[in-house]
Homo-oligomer: A and B are copies of this chain.
Amino acid sequence: TAACAVASELAATAPETIASFLAAYADGIEAHSEALASLAHQETGLPAPTRLAATEIPRTFNQLRLAADAVRTRSWSQPIIDTRAGLRSALGSMQKPVLIFGPNNFPLAYNAVAGSDFASAIAARNPVIAKAHPNQPGTTRLLAQIAHRAVLESGLPAATVQMVYHCTSEDGLSLCADPRLGAIGFTGSRAAGLALMAVSEPAGVPFFGELSAINPVLILPGALAGRAHALAQEYFGSCTLGSGQFCTNPGLVIVPEGEDGDAFVSAAARLFAEASPALLLSQGVMESLQRNVAALREAGAQLLGGTAQCSGPGFRFAPSLLGIDAARFLAAPETFQTEAFGPVGLIVRSPDEATTVKIIATLEGSLTGSVYSAEADRDLAQRLAVVLRPHVGRLLSNRMPTGVAVSAAMNHGGPFPSTTQRSFTAVGMPSAIARFAALQCWDHTPDHWLPVELQDSNPLSVWRVVDGVPTQGPLTPA
């Protein structure tokens, strides 16, 4: 109710004011880096200096600054003008609150009250209702306090940003089913996401969910020749980065049968076996990992390296590598795509291209897919890239998927079930803002009704498509 009450005021606010809020909030986060890193470390176990202070916090305030730039330059609004038809269109504010659920694994850069969904929703001039992740109450409270101060300093209405600590499942469901919402941004588990989407969509509330992904990696024979150990190291590094708790974690690797493949697998198995138990985000993550690894093993996956055991102190799990042959994988492909969220990888051995194609055909939608190849694999790599393409949002060549650059050309998104809307990205400015916008057309309206990016004079030199051609200039009378 409070968010709805300020939605139109917010939509009518000068973009410069929105941008100044985003910038002030970014500055506030930067100024509180130390306290945020310390709180987030206490609540997630993620290393404070390297992961949080040096990487995730800068990512968070940079993302807010990029959103501020996008607001100032209107680069997210995609203006189109058809002078003959008298029509102008652009993305504008939905003028409705966006409800955001953040994930457990990024206490800052995806936090419901500070991450990319937040920055995107505010950039599109919508109020935000942020649901704090239960494992990050302190971090989220401090972020919300910094946000609240920046809201007031910028002169925005206080209800622009609201934060909910906790609610029951029932309250969460009725919140999601509220037709006054404009959209929901959700990053989390597939089961929770689908349950919330099932009530939001019938109420007319689009659900932008990022749910789960196994991020397949194909390693081709040429890539392995002489590089099996180096690739095993690269794979191990990516698979255990952040204790394997990334949405772009390489969960499934398809490795050719034969000597080079064997060398890769045994080198990787050794690395997993030698690694110390990895600290996990929470007891829930540990238990779910244990359950899913057990399910994979029960279905026939062999333990190749590591003990697949929990241990202490805290919630730890031994980095572990599982393996399966192609025939068994193909007999139960759904089971073997169970996401083991943590430092656990599954290797499928494939005898030939035809089998690899069959395996790919069974793959559910993922955020990413990688193909490792060398010059000797040139044609095979291209053929498999074509086969893999529709299953993934981002296709990588000779790269592990764990890095997600904040770029206009990024797609942190993908076919269902990796996300629920395959034509949008959750990361990257200005692209991610489009999720929380409404397409608005103006039909023969006076110039002074138009948002500045559609006005004749184009005072901000916004790039817009005029009669089919991108231009930065003003409209010139015919």
A contact residues vs B (CB 8 Å cutoff): 7-8, 11-12, 75, 80-82, 85, 87-89, 91-96, 179, 194, 197-198, 201-202, 204-207, 365, 368, 381-382, 385-387, 389-390, 393-399, 405, 407-411, 413, 415-417, 420-425, 431, 434-435, 437-446, 448-449, 463, 465, 468-470
Are A423 and B82 within 8 A (Cβ)? no
Q: Bound complex: CA of A287 vs CA of B469, how far in Å?
A: 48
Are A197 and B201 within 8 A (Cβ)? yes
Known: A88-B409, A197-B202, A409-B441; 18 extra A-B contacts, CB below 8 A, are A12-B386, A80-B409, A80-B431, A82-B407, A82-B410, A87-B407, A89-B431, A92-B389, A93-B390, A94-B422, A179-B416, A198-B201, A204-B365, A382-B449, A395-B440, A395-B441, A408-B465, A423-B438
Partner of A410, one of B89, B92, B202, B204: B89
Stoichiometry (number of copies): 2
How distant is A106 from chain B, measured CB to nearest CB, in Å? 19
How distant is A295 from chain B, measured CB to nearest CB, in Å? 22
Are B408 and A80 within 8 A (Cβ)? yes
Q: Which of A197, A202, A207, A408 has the most CB of B within 10 A?
A: A408
Given contacts A202-B197, A422-B438, contact A409 B85 (CB under 8 A): yes
Question: Closest residue to A194 on the B side, CB-wise?
Answer: B202
Contact residues in B for A92 (Cβ distance below 8 Å) = 389
Partner of A445, one of B385, B410, B422, B443: B385
Partner of A385, one of B7, B11, B407, B449: B449
Given contacts A393-B439, A410-B441, contact A420 B11 (CB under 8 A): no
